[in-house]
């Protein structure tokens, strides 16, 4: 029975203070539900509004990739230096501790492997919404192939994922694929990022290009940039710096971190650029310092 005798009477109603009506800092997501915002806030740091996502999902189309032969050895040491882990459910389940505190972005579609010239042909759901919930996913990633034969199929998978995600408060990351036939131009990325956002993506992963500030401005949700093939460390830091200065809200980087001669150094250096506005030269010093601590 409730003990209602002798309790202090409630009186602190602060009648002169308006109710807290916090805005929400993740671009384009202010009208989403609480659960969705909570997951986005686990991915994008409130202090910077940005995120460092570590991508190790390459095996879903490429099999073992240089640097990712033993994910169980390579990825866990990098977890403290990143905000989000991006991988397939198979690899997250087998190689990442469930006690991990970083957010998880699960790749939920499959595509044709590199054995086929046209990887856009033949995609489908690899991890349905029930499995994503069971994984406690903070985000679901869907690859899309604009300008390729699998374009409409991949857009359908994106929209269906976004439908399921909005039902359960799990954001969808739309990934812009660049295939052999696809141009890496401002014109292409303007179209691709906008199409993904309009079809339900809460976040878009795309590539840095000349004219990126217009691409970022025209995309109503945050863009995180992919790293792409391994570059010399300073060049990768320069690319991340330019992207952030021109409106990206983070990186979703794989090879430029785990293929580096100091993955920890690169993860920390990228974090300084993304969250603290370090210049490439300052961040390169961080990388060098950690590399030589070994
Ligand atoms: C391709 C992908 C990749 O699988 C991966 O996430 C890319 O990472 P990086 O290019 O930085 O190695 O998203 O679209």
Q: What is the pLDDT of residue 260?
A: 98
What's the pTM value of the predicted model, to 2 decimals? 0.94
Q: What is the pLDDT of residue 39?
A: 98
Q: Whose CA is nearest to atom 10 of ligand 1?
A: 228
Ligand 1 centroid, distance to 56 Cα (angstroms): 8
From 82, 92, 226, 252, mutation site for ligand 1 pocket: most ligand atoms within 8 A of C-beta? 226
Q: What is the pLDDT of residue 7?
A: 83
**If you classify domain 34-293 with CATH, what class do you get?**
alpha beta
Q: What is the pLDDT of residue 16?
A: 87
Sorted by where each begins, the domain ranges of the chain are 34-293
Q: What is the pLDDT of residue 294?
A: 61
User: Which two tokens mark 145?
Assistant: 């192939």
CB proximity list for 212: less than 8 A, separation 6 or greater: 186, 189, 242, 243, 246, 247, 248
Q: What is the pLDDT of residue 1?
A: 60
Q: Whose CA is nearest to atom 3 of ligand 1?
A: 58
Q: What is the pLDDT of residue 117?
A: 85
- Which atom of ligand 1 approaches the CA of 227 most closely? 11
Ligand 1 centroid, distance to 57 Cα (angstroms): 7
User: Which two tokens mark 75?
Assistant: 């990825």
Q: What is the pLDDT of residue 180?
A: 65
CA distance 85 to 126: 18
* Active site residues per annotation: 205
Q: Whose CA is nearest to atom 4 of ligand 1?
A: 58
β-pair partners for 140: 106, 172
User: For residue 50, which of 240, 251, 189 has the smallest C-alpha distance?
Assistant: 251
User: Which two tokens mark 155?
Assistant: 């857009």
CA distance 179 to 213: 23
- Which atom of ligand 1 approaches the CA of 60 most closely? 4
Which parts of the chain sit beneath pLDDT 50?
none
Decide if 216 contacts 182 (C-beta within 8 A).
no
Within 6 A (CB) of ligand 1 lie 55, 57-58, 143, 175, 177, 226-228, 253-256
Ligand 1 centroid, distance to 58 Cα (angstroms): 6
pLDDT for 6-45, tens place per residue? 888 888 888 888 777 678 999 999 999 999 999 999 999 9
Decide if 174 contacts 144 (C-beta within 8 A).
yes
Ligand 1 centroid, distance to 243 Cα (angstroms): 16
- Which atom of ligand 1 approaches the CA of 230 most closely? 12
Ligand 1 centroid, distance to 217 Cα (angstroms): 23
Q: What is the pLDDT of residue 181?
A: 64
């Amino acid at each position: 029975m409730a003990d209602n005798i002798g309790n202090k009477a409630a009186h602190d109603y602060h009648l002169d203070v308006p109710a807290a009506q916090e805005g929400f800092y993740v671009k384009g997501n202010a009208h989403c539900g609480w659960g969705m915002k909570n997951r986005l806030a686990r991915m994008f740091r409130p202090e910077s509004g940005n995120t460092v996502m570590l991508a190790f999902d390459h095996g879903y189309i490429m099999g073992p990739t240089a640097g990712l032969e033993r994910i169980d050895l390579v990825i866990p040491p990098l977890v403290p230096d990143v905000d989000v882990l991006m991988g397939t459910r198979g690899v997250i389940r087998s190689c990442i501790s469930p006690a991990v505190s970083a957010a998880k972005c699960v790749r939920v579609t499959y595509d044709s492997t590199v054995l086929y010239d046209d990887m856009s042909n033949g995609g489908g759901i690899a991890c349905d919404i029930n499995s994503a919930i069971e994984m406690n996913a903070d985000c679901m990633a869907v690859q899309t192939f604009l300008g390729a034969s699998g374009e409409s199929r991949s857009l359908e998978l994106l929209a269906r994922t976004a439908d399921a995600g909005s039902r359960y408060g799990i954001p969808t990351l739309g990934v812009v694929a660049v295939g052999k036939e696809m141009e890496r131009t401002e014109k292409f990325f303007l179209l691709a990022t906008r199409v993904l956002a309009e079809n339900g993506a809460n976040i878009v992963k795309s590539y840095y290009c000349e004219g990126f500030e217009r691409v970022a401005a025209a995309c109503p949700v945050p863009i995180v940039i992919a790293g792409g093939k391994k570059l010399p460390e300073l060049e990768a830091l320069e690319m991340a710096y330019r992207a952030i200065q021109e409106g990206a809200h983070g990186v979703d980087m794989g090879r430029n971190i785990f293929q580096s001669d100091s993955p920890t150094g690169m993860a920390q250096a990228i974090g300084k650029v993304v969250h603290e506005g370090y210049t490439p030269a300052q961040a390169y010093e961080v990388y060098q310092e950690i590399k030589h601590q070994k």
